[in-house]
Amino acid sequence: MKKYSTITLFIALAVCVSQVAQAQGNKEANRLAREGADASKNQDWDKAVDLLRKATSLDRKYASDLAIAYQGRGYAFAKNQQFQEAIQDYTEALKLKSNDPRIYEQRAAVEMKTYDYDKALADYSELIKLKPNEVRYLNYRAYVYEVKEDVQNSMADTEKVLKIDPNNQEAKTRKQRLEQKLAERMPLTRPQSSPAPARTP
């Protein structure tokens, strides 16, 4: 009986120590997160990212706040035309919030500015998976396809836009351009040769 009491006491002590350690970790995580949130409000993005990264390592529940800090810093980098840094921060934000359309959209916009059309195309495709009937995203992707000279896929996205919004001026204009490009690519057909005139005797 004494043996079981000792084991029970030992287990109870271990649980208490674990809970105290966890509470200490949470206190520290809470403090870091509060300071990180204050830094975010003041747009001190480097400090916010650093503090929230530490808070997240202690308590995963702050990952969303860290993603917001990365996103904010990415936006600041983009405005400052530090495009590679912006892309890196948006990528970090997406690791934490992979279903956030706004982050994909912001990263794609920066990729367009750096003429990285393949990556922009991948991001717009992800956006369309998240929001299949969002006309803006379909128009953006159609534009990227058009820039890449992929007339067929650009036309497919343009048709989707016009099915959702028949009066979408951007899609109407693109469709005219694409139809013209297709017409220019069509090979000319030789006229059928007419029968030779009959000889008169």
Which pLDDT tens digit goes with each residue over 12-71? 333 333 343 344 458 887 888 888 888 888 888 888 788 888 888 888 898 999 999 999
Res 12: pLDDT:
39
For residue 152, the one-letter residue type is: Q
Q: Is the pLDDT of residue 186 over 80?
A: no
Q: Indicate yes or no: pTM above 0.95.
A: no
Q: Is the pLDDT of residue 6 over 50?
A: no
Res 159: pLDDT:
97
Tell me the pLDDT tens digit for each residue of 55-114: 888 888 989 999 999 999 999 999 999 999 999 999 999 999 999 999 999 999 999 999
